[in-house]
Amino acid sequence: MKYFTLLVLMVHTTVFAQQRQETVQRIFDYEMKDGQCYQMLDYLCNQIGHRLSGSTGAAAAVEYTRMTMKNFADSVKLQPVMVPHWVRGARETGRILTRKAGPVDVRVCALGGSVGTGTKGLSANVVEVRSFDELKVLGTKGVQGKIVFFNRPLDPTQMQTFAAYSGAVNQRGSGASEAARYGALGVVVRSMGWQNETYPHTGSLRYDPMVPKIPALAISTKDADVLSSLLAEEKDLKFYMESHCETLPDAPSFNVIGEIRGSEFPDEIIVVGGHLDSWDLGQGAHDDGAGCVQSMEVLRLLKAIGYRPRRTIRAVMYMNEENGLRGGVEYARVAGELKEKHIAAIESDRGGFTPRGFSMTAPDALKAKVKAWEKYFEKYGLTDFDGEGGGADIGPLGPSGTALFGYVPDSQRYFSYHHTEEDTFDKVNRRELELGAAAMAALVYLIDQEF
């Protein structure tokens, strides 16, 4: 009897595995033939454009995604959230002032949340540093009354591009306040991109309320090299910076939530999402229009193949990841208040490139279960299930016990577009985008069946 039971179990396991593989293939086949996420992204980028929190573009994107999900979700709702409202104003000016070469114009942009210089601009001598330790050594004597130039590049030897980004981004996030502690008048920060780019990268800074707020600009990597070279020749050169940005009162906005109600366990929720807001220099195609349309496509795709989920599948377009994370925090707060049970959350916020796998923050036993699903994805090039992490917007769900997953595409090109005017629709490959949407839908299906 024991051997018969074992045989039956083996047969059942084989049958279930075959069913899973067939459904995963059906998901990918349908998406590659009849996917619609690329068309959604086209509209989001080319008809609406950038979607900075508090802007008219963000409001238009809320309405577009709400109306779009009404076509395939069982229900769609708007979740109110108050968001920061920072505006860039007139185009920024950056100019190196030298005795030998004369004025040299460079490409700059204000960092998100920065104060402006006003119409008179700011001109001062420059001191170059690559770390906060170097800044500390210079101290007030070496920094006061000057513009600090943070010039630490991304490490090109890092194959994990997000590790390279993490190794440099603190100078953007905290550089202004660190410099202000020693009396700096302003900061110029090397862009968070690879070598020889002519366009600057924006991104958020965080002011320490205990020190003065000073203007902060990002400078293109190519022009950062120019500034560094000229400083080596002429230590007392000056830099002129002008910006007109300002922070307005918080503005009302929304998370957009669409869902397909579960047939067996409707109170158990699987979330898939991306952030609807973007920076204002490009169209927010990879960051994070791609993640939004992939998440909406998960609902549409599962509905299209006739799959009835056991659990509730919810697509969330989070607002304000870029300069506040208000949407993700509010979603988790309301979920806690309503005592909702989120068993898993998946975020796509690494661009719409070729899928490689998923990262996870979950108990070891759960990780082992998911890693065993690699056999279903291997055919489609997804073999990386070893990374830790989920995503910024779903992170606030973690303390409630939700298993967090991050969609992991090939990221080698991501930081050439990230937070720049180059992040436009034409940089997204349709097939890569659709493969990512299918991968996310397949993971949702497997979680729904086997968690």
Active site residues: 321
DSSP label at residue 353: S
User: Which amino acid appears at position 350 of this protein?
Assistant: R
User: Which amino acid appears at position 46 of this protein?
Assistant: N
The SS3 of residue 103 is strand
Neighbouring-strand partners of residue 406? 347, 359
DSSP label at residue 193: S
Greatest CA separation for the chain: 94
The SS3 of residue 390 is coil
Does a cis peptide bond (omega within 30 degrees of 0) precede residue 349?
no
132-143 vs 170-180: helix crossing angle, rounded to 10: 30
Residue (of 309, 323, 335, 322) closest to 257 by Cα position: 335
- The rounded distance, in Å, linking the Cα atoms of 205 and 208 is 10
- The rounded distance, in Å, linking the Cα atoms of 95 and 104 is 5
Task: State residue 169 phi and psi, 5-degree precision.
Answer: -75, -15
Residue (of 6, 5, 27) closest to 303 by Cα position: 27
Neighbouring-strand partners of residue 82? 252
- The rounded distance, in Å, linking the Cα atoms of 388 and 358 is 9
Q: DSSP E strands: which ranges in 289-379?
A: 311-318, 341-347, 355-361
Enter the tokens of residue 130: 């690559």
User: Which amino acid appears at position 171 of this protein?
Assistant: Q
DSSP label at residue 287: I
What is the arrangement of strands in the sheet containing 341-347, beginning at the earlier edge strand?
75-87, 246-260, 311-318, 265-275, 341-347, 403-409, 355-361
Enter the tokens of residue 149: 């130039």
Task: State residue 234 phi and psi, 5-degree precision.
Answer: -140, 90
